[in-house]
Structure 1
Amino acid sequence: MTVLPSYPLFADLPGDISVSFEFFPPKSEKMEEQLWDAITQLAPLDPSFVSVTYGAGGSTRERTHATVARLVRETSLVPAAHLTCVSASKDEIAEIADQYWAAGVRHIVALRGDPPPADGGRFVPHPAGYASAAELVAGLRARHAFEISVAAYPEVHPEAVSTAADLDNLKRKVDAGATRAITQFFFSTDAYFRFLDKVLAAGIDVAVLPGIMPVTSFAAIRRMSANTEIPGWMEAMFEGLDERPGPRSLVSAVAAADLCRRLYAGGVRDFHFYTLNKAEQAYAICHLLGVRPKG
């Protein structure tokens, strides 16, 4: 007879982890209220940093800056501003970087960025801009002593010609001065740990934080997945829940917490959550992992 533990699945997790959260800048007054409600709810969990995204083609540049500047002014959180190469010259990016530095921002998430729809989904460097995230990292590093995070892809970037080329691109970003990598979301612990093995074998020695995406809409996850494998068990788990947000949210929190629990068992102690400006799921996941409000 199999002897089962006498305690619930997450009861033995001591909460000895670091968490960080990603938000996106609001487009309306109502969305601004939702964002700051999420920030207020998650701030007591003492995240190591919170990042604010940057829309395709730099479309949210001003809103991103306003959100990050407010975080500096009104909270004790450590903000990380996303910055991309798309539709901007090197001089424009230098000006933005100077503005962030003057505002007290010391952490940048440096990305190539998604091209605007007008470019047909194909990245075209600005004639006077950076051609890659590695070039952007080098330019930022030369400008100020930023802490710089970059993107990593456990299941390979959809535009990469090969796994080796994708790893080489990550190494170029790290060699240019990146201090941390944050992964695209994934649902397979094996994919993440296999990726870590490849990262180490390639001589890349920075922390690689797993990016955790709770399911707020399974249809949306399917659209965004690109090269990310969606396991069969996940299809079955979320079947019929897209029209039932309450149950979906509960199932999603437990599924994401279980992914983190299995990563924890493999030695992971830093987790980055894509919140989509919704605090409840991220808070519930952290709570299941043993994270409690500080102070």
Structure 2
Amino acid sequence: MSAPRVSFEFFPPKSLEASFRLWDTVQVLAPLSPRFVSVTYGAGGTTRELTRDAVGTLHKHSGLDVAAHLTCVNASKAETLAIAEGFAEAGVTQIVALRGDPPKGAGGFTPHPEGFASSVELVESLAATGRFKIRVGAYPDPHPEAGHDGADIDWLKRKIDAGASEAITQFFFEPETFFRFRDRCEKAGLDAPITPGIMPIENWDGVKRFAKGCGAVIPDWLDRAFEKARRDGREDLLATAVCSELCSKLIDGGVETLHFYTLNRPELTRDVCFALGLKPDLQLENVA
């Protein structure tokens, strides 16, 4: 098994303590020579300025390729494109373009009166500038708002046709979920790279909440395993084993790139990467 190429997702810090945690996370994972690292937007665009600041700081000081998340929520087209222009002016030309989650309690996505109605429109406008490498989201398990079987593949095809060059999936728990989705995408004529999104399970209850919100199917066997591991005090061991096995099976099935949702907690992600055969680049050990 050859080691995969990896990328890591962070979220922007909301406090001084969280800023130190983010930088510690970067220092732990940077020696693994990621393809890129990305910084998320909060639900409803609530961390827009924090995302901008974190992206700028990482780009300037980490030596890593940084991708900024950009969403359609709570902003006009002009405001959204101005944010993208600001990223480009700062030297950040990779964007993860998403529709975005609505604000908490909103009940569903409602476009800004002067904003983008969908991620497809956002991708089209970003692509038209000619300044960005654009990645988009994909859903191996059906999105909670998917109108019909195959809707997620239809949407992904539209986003790729609009100018995106790669897709990163929502997290999932079993390799077959990804392989089925990949096969359906190929059958639909999608030839852009699709990178599996991997969620190392730091906290099983928290991950279950995330899964419920995004439509990821929770296998009964995994729920039982974590309940038993909790009683035995072996949750960390199980989390490392489960994530490493998932990634290994994906690699055995032809996957060459993995994207880790780190939640700014790097140790489990690092341990899984080590288990997959990634070696730290000593020249990046002191990335700060």
**TM-score, normalising length: structure 2:** 0.94
Report the residue type matching 2:151 in the other structure. Answer: A
1:188-203 alignment, distance < 5 Å: 188-203=174-189
Counterpart selection for 2:264 from 250, 274, 277: 277
Report % sequence identity: 49
Equivalence for 2:218: 230
Q: Distance in 2 between matches of 1:197 and 1:31?
A: 40
Q: Distance in 1 between matches of 2:225 and 2:90?
A: 45
Equivalence for 2:33: 46
CA contact (8 A) 2:6 2:258 kept: yes
2:201 corresponds to 1:215: yes
SS at match of 1:163: coil
1:1-295 alignment, distance < 5 Å: 13-15=1-3, 17-120=4-107, 122-226=108-212, 227-239=215-227, 241=229, 247-294=234-281, 295=283
Segments of 4+ moved more than 4 angstroms:
240-244
RMSD: 1.4
Q: Distance in 1 between matches of 2:13 and 2:237?
A: 25
CA contact (8 A) 1:217 1:242 kept: no
Structure 1, unmatched stretches of 5+, are 1-12
Q: Distance in 1 between matches of 2:144 and 2:84?
A: 28
Report the residue type matching 1:233 in the other structure. Answer: W
Q: How much does 1:275 deviate?
A: 0.3
Q: How much does 1:112 deviate?
A: 0.2
Q: Distance in 1 between matches of 2:85 and 2:130?
A: 8
Q: Distance in 1 between matches of 2:47 and 2:152?
A: 27
CA contact (8 A) 1:85 1:130 kept: yes
| Shift in alpha-carbon separation, 1:217–1:243, aligned structure 2, 3 A | farther
Report the residue type matching 2:113 in the other structure. Answer: P
CA contact (8 A) 2:88 2:131 kept: no
Q: Distance in 2 between matches of 1:255 and 1:112?
A: 30
**TM-score, normalising length: structure 1:** 0.92
Q: Distance in 1 between matches of 2:151 and 2:59?
A: 37
CA contact (8 A) 2:72 2:117 kept: yes
Q: How much does 1:165 deviate?
A: 1.9
CA contact (8 A) 2:76 2:113 kept: yes
CA deviation vs aligned residue, 1:99-125 (integer Å, no higher than 9, x gap) = 0000000100000000002422x1000
| Shift in alpha-carbon separation, 1:229–1:95, aligned structure 2, 3 A | same
SS at match of 1:225: helix
Q: Distance in 1 between matches of 2:86 and 2:198?
A: 30
Q: How much does 1:248 deviate?
A: 1.9
How many residues were matched structurally? 280
Report the residue type matching 1:232 in the other structure. Answer: D
